[in-house]
Structure 1
Amino acid sequence: MRVNQSSFRDKLNYVQLSRGDVFFLCLCLTKVKEAFPVEFSEECMHQNPEFVKLLNELSQHVCPTGVSKQVQTDLHQVSQHVCPSGVSKQVQSDLHQAEKELRYEKHPWLMNHILYTELEKLLLEAEIEVLEGAEPQHELEKLLLEAEIEVLEGAEPQHGKQFYSMLQDHFTTIKTGDYLNCCPDPGSKVRLLGLTPEVILEQNTHMQNLPYIEQKLIPLIEEQLSKKCDKLLDYYNSTHDDIGSDLTVGQGSQLPNVIEVYRQKIDDEREQLKKELRRQDAQFKAYYATLLDSMHLLEELVSKYRLRNQSQHDSVMAEWMMMKFDGFCLKIRVLELEIMIETYTFETTKALQKIRDHLDVALAEATKKRTQLQKLLETYQSVGMGFDDLVKEYGRLKEEVENKQWALSELKQSESSADGQT
């Protein structure tokens, strides 16, 4: 807040500052504003002169970024020997040199691998077309026909498939030599069955025809690779049109640069995406911290202002609920009385009275009988424990008498039946 000079004089009567002190504080305030991104008014300067001096002393040892000047100097010295990734520049240089040597050594192998793959693909397509009995639509089949003519003219073997046969045999011989190294150690001289690549090549009867094979296959492989390069260039350059072979060859020679630019663009976008993710993460953390602060503030406001009258509010709500509960109880009682009036009429009351009289008589008789039985039980219990034995003995004797009576009746029946038979 900015105020005029007269207001300063009115407000600063309690601060005893000389003109020299005021001038010194103004200089300190200027240095503080230059060193730190803070808003410090003249009013605050006059109210807190010691704080201004403290900030001035601090500005001599701390950079605007919040790091001490000594640490800033050390970081600058370290940055001269360390890359931003944290690796020393010497190690980074050695790493770049190793990558360069790796690319240099890998380049011939990749070229040979491409030629090997293309040759294998041509042989496979030609074999599939021969097995299917199709017309010679592939360039290799046309070469077979041309080879037949040339072989006939040169008095060579007279079969049209001779070219394909010697090409397949030569390719198989080369592949067989790769399987001889059965030992995992590259420096080992152990070979499968004791064979060497030289021995395998000596068994190839078509070595003298190798120049002829190369002469016929090189243009075909170059054509296939040119088509693939055109397709790859069309993918990376969508504005490319088929406007001439010279231009296509010129653009094809620039294909590595196009791919490198495209790859660099992807790397830049990936780095930008990482920065954006870090920024969003920091922003999320800031939003989360702000949300937590807001929640704490809301809890404080609720506990300070709302909960102060919560007890009174709860008591009023409790009284209201009690009154409402009493009202419901009265309504239920009225409903109960209405149901009883509708259920128990004058005639129903007389019938219920008669039923009650009958039940009272039955209850009196049952009570009297219960009393008699209870007295009898008490009499039995007064006899003691021997009464139970007498009851058991009586039951046993009664059972024996019944058994003997049954046996006598059976004997009488058997005697009467015997007399009748005689």
Structure 2
Amino acid sequence: MSAEPEFTLGNGDSLHQQVLASFPLCDITEEDLTQNPQFCKLLTTLAQHVDQTGLTVPLKTELDKAEQKLQSQRRHWLRSESLHTGLQEMIQDHSIRKHHATVPPDQNMFYETMEKCLLVAQCIRQLDPSNTTNQDQPPVLGLNSQQVMELLPPEKNVQRMKQGLPRELENHLKKKCLSLLSYYQPEWENDSEGLKNTKLSHLSAQLDKDKKRSECLKETCRENTVLLQRQTQLYLSELIKCIQLLQSLILDHRLRIQTDLDGKKLEYLEGKCELVLQKIKTEIVDIQLDTYTADSISAHRKIREKLVSELKACQVEKQSVEIKLSSFEILGKEFGHLAEEYCRLRHEIELKNWALKEFTQYNNK
């Protein structure tokens, strides 16, 4: 277990760097830590109890133990699975060889025995319930392990197969390792058998070295990604500050020159308005000069004088009529009926006079 990180409260910049290094997954910057010293102190204390992934020390210990146990069980399972897969591949290769070439009878018997043993072992594993299955489960097809064991080949063939199996399995695994070596380094394919065996003995160490190098590159890539994210965030924050500063400068510049611009624009609009008004007056005068001559103006004046005199006469007549009407209104409603009757008789007289006039004109014709 790694030692707990220690922090000193000396230099503020170094403290901030240590806090950021202790929490690489947190999206915080030095500015955040500077503006919030209590939060920085909290992270400093918290970094003594958790690792970079955020796990506490006891939980990290339990996780490491569980990981070791898992790796041990995984290796055990991979060992048995690799052995079973290798045997299956050997049987498959033998079946392919039988279709392309003649196989010796003893070799044919060896692979047939091995295939039957694998099938029986697989059936027994299916029939034998493990701790994770229900013990009361009825057997498949009513069979038990002892009945399936009776299907094994003769004991003599099984013993012979067991004696030759390590050698055949070793040859098969060696062939696979050589194929892996040729895939890993194609330029080694034309080397001699002894040189290949020598290089094959160092293949595991070379693969471990490449794996560690790959993991180191992944870690470096992750660190570079985190650093790039921080730099990008810092760049964006600085860019926003620059934009805000530029906006404030533009606003101040606009405010300073806006008064002068408004004054000049107002003077321009006033001058333009005055020019338009003078032009309108000029056009009115031109229209009046083109429309009214000296004779027409004198005639209009005489007409106006006559109309004014007639208007005054009409107003005098109106006043006299209003006086008469007011005197008639004193007489009451009966005089109103007499006035209406008088108006009706006057209207009938006018109609008859008009008819008589028309009739006289018709007779004269």
Could you state the TM-score of these two structures normalised by the residue count of structure 1?
A: 0.45
Amino acid at match of 1:147: D
Change (3 A) 1:193 1:185: farther
Matching of residue 219 in structure 1 with residue 167 in structure 2: yes
2:129–2:135 Cα contact (<8 Å) kept: no
Could you say which residue in structure 2 is the equivalent of 1:169?
A: 116
The one of 202, 208, 218 equivalent to 2:150 is 202
Instruction: Give the aligned residue type for 1:171.
Output: L
CA distance in 1, matches of 2:236, 2:197: 57
Offset, 1:209: 0.8
> CA 1:36–1:104 in structure 2 vs 1: closer, same or farther (change >3 Å)?
closer
C-alpha displacement of 1:283: 1.2
1:236-315 alignment to 2 at 5 Å?
243-246=191-194, 248-306=196-254, 308-309=256-257
What amino acid sits opposite 1:265 in the alignment?
A: R
> Does residue 75 in structure 1 map to residue 75 in structure 2?
no
What do residues 18-57 of structure 1 show as CA deviations (whole Å, max 9, x unaligned)?
A: xxxxxxxxxxxxxxxx9567xxxxxxxxxxxxxxxxxxxx
Distance 2:118 2:237 in 1: 69
Please, which of 85, 91, 94 is the counterpart of residue 53 of structure 2? Answer: 85
Residue 105 (structure 2) pairs with residue 135 (structure 1): no
Relative to 1, partners in 2 of residues 1:164 and 1:238: Cα closer, same or farther, differing over 3 Å?
A: closer
TM-score (normalizing by structure 2): 0.51
Distance 1:259 1:286, change over 3 A: same
Query: What's the CA shift for 1:299?
Result: 1.6
| Alignment partners' CA distance in 2, 1:231 and 1:271 | 31
| Corresponding letter in the other structure for 1:106 | R
Could you say if the C-alpha distance between residues 254 and 72 of structure 1 is closer, same or farther in structure 2, counting changes exceeding 3 Å? farther
Change (3 A) 1:112 1:93: same
Pairwise CA RMSD of aligned residues? 4.3
CA shift in 2, pair 1:108/1:250, >3 Å: farther
Matches for 1:12-411 after TM superposition, within 5 Å: 71=41, 75=45, 79=48, 82-128=50-96, 130=98, 134-136=99-101, 144-145=103-104, 147=106, 162-180=109-127, 185-186=132-133, 188=135, 190=137, 191-234=139-182, 243-246=191-194, 248-306=196-254, 308-309=256-257
| Residues 229 and 252, structure 1, Cα contact 8 Å, conserved in 2 | yes
* Residue 145 of structure 1: how far off its partner (Å): 0.8
Change (3 A) 1:291 1:103: closer
1:186-211 CA-partner distances (Å, limit 9, x unpaired): 46263323433332112223343112
1:135 to partner: Cα distance: 2.8
For residues 116 and 187 of structure 1, what CA distance do their matches in structure 2 show?
A: 26
The alignment partner of 2:153 has SS state of coil
Distance 1:35 1:266, change over 3 A: closer
Higher relative contact order (CA 8 A, sep 6+): 2
User: Number of aligned pairs?
Assistant: 238
Question: Structure 1 residues 280, 162: closer, same or farther in 2, change over 3 A?
Answer: closer
Read off the aligned partner of 2:225 and give its amino acid letter. L
Query: Using a 3 Å threshold, how does the CA distance of structure 1 residues 241 and 261 change in structure 2: closer, same or farther?
Result: same
| Structure 2: distance between partners of 1:121 and 1:174 | 17
Mind listing any 5+ residue stretches in structure 2 that lack a counterpart?
1-9, 14-33, 273-365
Secondary structure of the 1:179 match is helix
Conserved 8 A contact 1:177-1:197: yes
Structure 2 Cα separation of the partners of residues 299 and 211 of structure 1: 91
**Structure 1 residue 98: deviation in Å?**
3.2
Deviations 1:282-333, CA, capped at 9 Å, x for gaps: 111111112212221222222221354457668769x79xx9xxxxxxxxxx
| CA distances 1:328-384 after superposition (whole Å, capped 9, x unpaired) | xxxxxxxxxxxxxxxxxxxxxxxxxxxxxxxxxxxxxxxxxxxxxxxxxxxxxxxxx
Q: Deviation of residue 227 (structure 1)? A: 2.7
In structure 2, the CA distance between the partners of 1:188 and 1:254, relative to structure 1 (3 Å rule), is farther
Q: Any idea what SS the aligned residue of 1:227 has?
A: helix
* Preserved CA contact (<8 Å) 1:173 1:200: yes
| Counterpart AA for 1:221 | L
SS at match of 1:203: coil
Q: 1:261 to 1:75 in 2, by over 3 A?
A: farther
Contact 1:173–1:201 (Cα < 8 Å) also in 2: yes
Structure 2: distance between partners of 1:209 and 1:192:
28
Give the direction of change, closer, same or farther, for the CA distance of 1:216–1:235 in structure 2 (3 Å limit): same
Aligned equivalents of 1:72, 1:299: Cα separation in 2: 37
Query: Which runs of 5 or more residues in structure 1 are unaligned?
Result: 1-33, 38-63, 149-160, 324-422
Residue 176 of structure 2 aligns with an amino acid whose one-letter code is K
CA gap of 1:229–1:96, structure 2 versus 1, over 3 A, is: farther
8 Å CA contact 1:167, 1:213 repeated in 2 = yes
CA contact (8 A) 1:182 1:192 kept: no
